[in-house]
Amino acid sequence: AQTVTQSQPEMSVQEAETVTLSCTYDTSESDYYLFWYKQPPSRQMILVIRQEAYKQQNATENRFSVNFQKAAKSFSLKISDSQLGDAAMYFCAYRSGNQGGSEKLVFGKGTKLTVNP
Amino acid sequence: GAVVSQHPSRVICKSGTSVKIECRSLDFQATTMFWYRQFPKQSLMLMATSNEGSKATYEQGVEKDKFLINHASLTLSTLTVTSAHPEDSSFYICSAVGWGGNQPQHFGDGTRLSIL
């Protein structure tokens, strides 16, 4: 079974600075997808960024980028120019690529990010 | 972008009541919907996966008769917590995904269930 590990229960960053959240995963599959979701205090789950395993290029979405190291099974999230609104729980998630999208997500335990003004 | 509506957002009811939560995909057809439970300061725990027109697949340890799931159309899935008790109080979140290997799950806003 696949597992996702987020080794940092909590992180903090100064406003306008850069922070990196760690995520590692374990799988024997070659076709899969990785995601970062953000859950602010409102508890809404918001997709931040996603990465297809077959793509070597790291995904980017504005201030958010990932460092995808497939051989190391690492998928870290970098947030640049941190803003107060970035404060939230961040969940790393894995999904198998085998069944057209109907596969379940495997979540890490989350990292609580605090942004200090 | 894809929108998933979950209703109600908050429920407070007496022990023994059955509670129904709806999850709707508003602008896409959801071939699969997922139901999660989240305890405070914890990650999401998958309860079940439902595909339109077929029986839901429950995760180990989740009581099928307690948490009834119906996925009658490509845009609607419901979770009914039957004869709810205080230990069922939690935050329940649904998600939906359309067809296609690269489609992400889109989440509803969640339902906070409190059983008195």
Q: What is the mean pLDDT of each run of 10 residues along chain B (116 residues)?
A: 89 96 92 93 93 89 94 92 96 89 85 96
CB of A43 within 8 Å of a chain B CB? The answer is yes
- For residue B30, give Cα distances in angstroms to A49, A102, B14, B99: 21, 10, 32, 7
Query: Which chain B residues are Cβ-neighbours of A108 within 8 angstroms?
Result: 43
Say how many CB pairs under 8 Å bridge A and B.
Answer: 63
Q: Tens digits of per-residue pLDDT, B77-100?
A: 999 999 999 999 999 999 998 876
Whole-angstrom distance, CA of residue B46 vs CA of residue B114: 19
CB of B80 within 8 Å of a chain A CB? The answer is no
